[in-house]
A and B are shown apart, each in its own frame.
Chain A
Amino acid sequence: MKSLSRLGAIIKKEVRQLRRDRLTFGMVFGLPVIQILLFGYAINTDVRHLRTAVANQADTHLSREFIANIGATQVVNIIDEVSTPEELESLLRRGEISIGILIPADFDRRVLDGTRSAVQLLLDGSDPTVLSVASQLRNVPIQYSPAAGTGNRATAIETRPYYNPERRTPVNIVPGLMGVILMMTMMLFTAVAIVRERERGNLELLINTPVSSAELMIGKVTPYIAIGLLQLALILGVGQLLFDVPVRGSIMDLYIAGIAFIAAKLALGLLISTAVHTQFQAMQMTVFILMPSILLSGFMFPFDGMPAVAQFIGEILPTTHFIRLTRGIMLRDAPLAELTTDFYYLVGFTLVAMTIAALRFTKRLD
Chain B
Amino acid sequence: MSSEYAIEARGLSKHFGSLKAVNQLDLKVPRGQIYGFLGPNGSGKSTTIRMLCGLLTPTEGTATVLDTEVPGDSRDLKPKIGYMTQKFSLFGDMTVFENLQFISEIYSYPKSGRIGRIDELLEKYDLTQQRRQMAGTMSGGQKQRLALACAVLHGPDLLLLDEPTSAVDPQSRRDFWSNLFRLAERGTTILVSTHYMDEAERCHRLAILDRGIKVADGTPRDLQASTGMRVIEVIADDPYAAQAVIHDLAEVASVTQLGVRLRVLIPEHHDNALQIVERALSAAGVDAQSSLSSATLEDVFVAVTMGPEERIA
Contact = CB atoms under 8 A, between A and B. Distances in A.
A210 B79 contact: yes
Interface string A333-366: 0000000000000000000000000000000111
Given A201-B85, A365-B50, A208 B55 contact: yes
B262 interface: no
Interface string B43-69: 000000010011111000000000000
Contacts of A365: 50, 55-56
Interface string A199-214: 0111111111111100
B137 to A, nearest CB: 15
Given A205-B85, A210-B107, A364-B57, 16 more contacts: A201-B87, A202-B91, A204-B87, A205-B83, A205-B90, A207-B55, A208-B53, A208-B55, A208-B78, A208-B83, A209-B106, A210-B108, A211-B106, A212-B75, A364-B55, A366-B56
A9 B79 CA distance: 50
Contacts of A201: 85, 87-89
B190 interface: no
B40 interface: no
Interface in B150-207: 150
Contacts of B6: none
Contact of A208 (B81, B87, B91, B92): B81
Interface of A: 200-212, 364-366
Contacts of A210: 75, 78-79, 106-108
B56 A364 contact: yes
Interface of B: 50, 53-57, 75, 78-79, 81, 83, 85, 87-92, 103, 106-108, 150
Contact of A200 (B50, B83, B89): B89
B165 to A, nearest CB: 17
A364 B56 CA distance: 6
Contacts of B103: 209
A366 B56 CA distance: 6
Contacts of A207: 55
Q: Would you call the interface of chain B mostly helix, strand, loop, or mixed?
A: loop
Contacts, number: 48
Nearest to A204: B85
A281 to B, nearest CB: 20
B55 A205 contact: no
A274 B218 CA distance: 42
10 contacts: A201-B88, A205-B89, A205-B150, A208-B55, A209-B107, A210-B78, A210-B79, A211-B106, A365-B50, A366-B55
Kindly list the 9 A-B residue pairs having the minimum CB-CB distance in the complex, ordered from nearest. A205-B89, A201-B89, A208-B83, A201-B87, A210-B78, A209-B106, A366-B56, A365-B55, A204-B85
B49 to A, nearest CB: 10
A84 to B, nearest CB: 61
Nearest to A212: B75
Given A209-B78, A366-B56, A200 B92 contact: yes
Nearest to B162: A204
Nearest to B14: A366
A212 B76 CA distance: 12
Nearest to B85: A204
Contacts of B88: 201
A204 B56 CA distance: 11
Contacts of A202: 89-91
A364 B107 CA distance: 19
Contacts of B89: 200-205
Contacts of A212: 75
Contacts of A366: 55-57
Contacts of B87: 201, 204
A282 B71 CA distance: 31
Nearest to A366: B56
Contacts of B107: 209-210
B210 to A, nearest CB: 23
Contacts of B83: 205, 208
A310 to B, nearest CB: 42
A211 B53 CA distance: 14
Nearest to B71: A364
A207 B89 CA distance: 11
B175 to A, nearest CB: 22
A211 to B, nearest CB: 6
